[in-house]
Amino acid sequence: MRALYPGSFDPVTFGHLDLIQRASQLFDEVIVAVLRNPNKQPSFSLEERLEQLSSVTSHLPQVRVTSFEGLTVHFALEQDARVILRGLRALSDFEFELQLAHTNASLSDQVDTLFMATAVPHSFLSSSVVKEVARFGGDVQHLVPETVAIDLRRLFNQRVDVSGDR
Ligand code: ADP
């Protein structure tokens, strides 16, 4: 069975990676798909996020990294994925995720949403928290893979340089 794991991954964290790793033991193939969302201004370009995801999942042969735009359900059907995978951290994720799952179910009965509980050590972790820490020079080594930590340092150093606001 093939599963689709959609998200912004701006950037990928150890929370996402843990979920991808566990899912790759459950499914024959896991498609990690970066949503090209015209309403969101990401910190990392699509190319950067695809590169980060490919590099941190290169040891997982069942994982394929790609991008999509439009409805997740349509992309899942197109990719012949029966399952949309989402991670649940705290109760606060639940309401939104359930609404999303119900919306998707109303659009197609060929695709089911499965939730995976976050690993406890990553339950507080989100891409925005990581960016907040990195922005103010905090250590993110325990939150994201090394290659992403380097990209974060570059992102915020460049920002400082460009604005001259040092
Ligand atoms: P989105 O913008 O679609 O929420 P994200 O990249 O923030 O995209 O998250 C993609 C998926 O990964 C979501 O299902 C989210 O709940 C899940 N996720 C995010 N952080 C973690 C984490 N620390 N542990 C487990 N799952 C997570």
Q: What is the 3-state secondary structure (H, E, C) of 43-95?
A: CCCHHHHHHHHHHHCCCCCCEEEEEECCCHHHHHHHCCCCEEEEEECCHHHHH
Is position 20 within any domain? yes
Does the CB atom of residue 11 touch ligand 1 within 6 A? no
Is position 12 within any domain? yes
**Residue positions annotated with a catalytic role:** 16, 40, 89, 127
First to last CA, the chain: 51
Does the CB atom of residue 52 touch ligand 1 within 6 A? no
pLDDT at 162 over 80: no
pLDDT at 84 over 60: yes
* pLDDT tens track for 97-106: 999 999 999 9
Asked if 75 and 64 touch (Cβ cutoff 8 Å), the reply is no
pLDDT for position 105: 97
Is position 149 within any domain? no
What CATH number should be reported for the domain holding residue 53?
A: 3.40.50.620
CA 161 to centroid of ligand 1, rounded, Å: 30
**Total domains present in the chain:** 1
